[in-house]
């Protein structure tokens, strides 16, 4: 998801004039849009699907990092012990 600076930087005044067009652009392009005020970035707008996918991916990466940290700290248990604790018979 690469930002196209020629298309994806929009002044806040344009959003005020035609919010539906800008929202559809964010949704249809699958790219974030940088909103500016007085030439400076103030906010990012993106489609809901992209936002949800990004949040899911972020949570997944965070869980992997936590798992790797627990392995490093030797906070692990055997599969047999885990099954026993969960009441799963093999």
- By the 10 Å C-beta count (0-12 exposed, 13-18 middle, 19+ buried), 77 is classed as exposed
Q: What residues are paired with 86 via a beta bridge?
A: none
pLDDT along the chain (90 residues), means of 10: 77 96 94 95 95 97 97 92 87
pLDDT for residue 1: 61
Extents of the domains making up the chain: 5-46, 49-86
Sheet strands side by side (includes 40-45): 9-11, 33-37, 40-45
pLDDT for residue 32: 94
The set of residues, in sequence order, having a beta carbon less than 8 Å from that of 8 and lying 6+ positions away, is 29, 31, 32, 33, 34
Of 3.40.1620.10, 3.40.30.10, 2.60.40.420, 3.90.79.10, the CATH number of 5-46 is 3.40.1620.10
Q: Provide the H-helix boundaries in the chain.
A: 5-8, 12-17, 19-29, 48-72, 79-86
Whether 43 contacts 18, CB under 8 Å: no
Whether 50 contacts 1, CB under 8 Å: yes
pLDDT for residue 58: 97
């Amino acid at each position: 998801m690469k930002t196209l600076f020629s298309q994806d930087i929009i002044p806040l005044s344009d959003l005020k004039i035609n919010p539906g067009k800008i929202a559809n652009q964010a949704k249809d392009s699958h790219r974030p849009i940088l909103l500016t005020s007085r030439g400076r970035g103030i906010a990012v707008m993106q489609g809901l699907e992209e936002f949800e996918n990004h949040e899911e991916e972020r949570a997944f990466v965070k869980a992997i990092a936590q798992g790797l940290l627990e392995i490093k700290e030797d906070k692990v248990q055997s599969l047999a012990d885990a099954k026993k604790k969960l009441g799963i018979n093999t």
